[in-house]
Copies of this chain bind each other. A is one copy, B any other.
């Protein structure tokens, strides 16, 4: 007999899904309840602070996800630089479903509770920035330029995702992702 009827990791996945699809204000407790299969009172039992606790939890998980799936790959210094970059871009493509899925960071970065989340959001972007900078630097770029190009890479990811979703055209995202190695000094 299980302690919980629903596994925490399943709840986390569903919460992320709803916040990413509908944004913070669009994600009602009713939607979150239906998606997770937990009644509202049960969600409050797990997240006493309510909706904003759930969103903060989602972002905390995302930060861990970036550390485990992106940063850790970047830091496999036994592998060639280009191979590390290519391996690190794969989970990014999965995260955004090749352009079909919105960015949870963006969807939670323009609402009334954003100040409550900002630390996590900034941390996720910092992981990406440090990772791309490291790759470009180890590829021979001077550090200031490497950092500039890393920012461009993140801008391309976010911008292309906005356009892909707004125009319902995943190819915009795919094209941008394919440009990143070149942007960081490869080929």
Q: Which of A112, A157, A167, A176 gathers the greatest number of chain B CB atoms within 10 Å?
A: A167
A122 in contact (CB, < 8 A): yes
Docked-complex contact A163 and B125, CB < 8 angstroms: yes
Smallest Cβ distance from A112 to chain B, in angstroms?
A: 6
Contact partners of A152 in chain B: CB under 8 A: 156
Closest to A164 in B: B155
Categorize the interface residue count of chain A: 35 or more
Using an 8 Å CB-CB cutoff, how does the interface string of A30-70 with B read, 1 for contact, 0 for none? 00000000000000000000000000000000000000000
Docked-complex contact B22 and A23, CB < 8 angstroms: no
Closest to A122 in B: B167
Given contacts A23-B25, A118-B166, A159-B160, 19 further A-B contacts (CB under 8 A): A24-B26, A26-B112, A105-B166, A106-B162, A107-B110, A109-B165, A118-B168, A151-B163, A151-B172, A155-B155, A155-B156, A155-B172, A155-B176, A156-B156, A156-B159, A158-B162, A158-B163, A159-B162, A162-B162
Query: Which residues of A pack against B, CB within 8 Å?
Result: 22-26, 102, 105-107, 109-112, 118, 121-122, 125, 148, 151-152, 154-160, 162-163, 165-168, 172, 175-176
A/B interface sample: 9 pairs, CB < 8 A? A23-B111, A26-B112, A105-B166, A107-B110, A121-B166, A151-B172, A151-B175, A155-B163, A159-B162
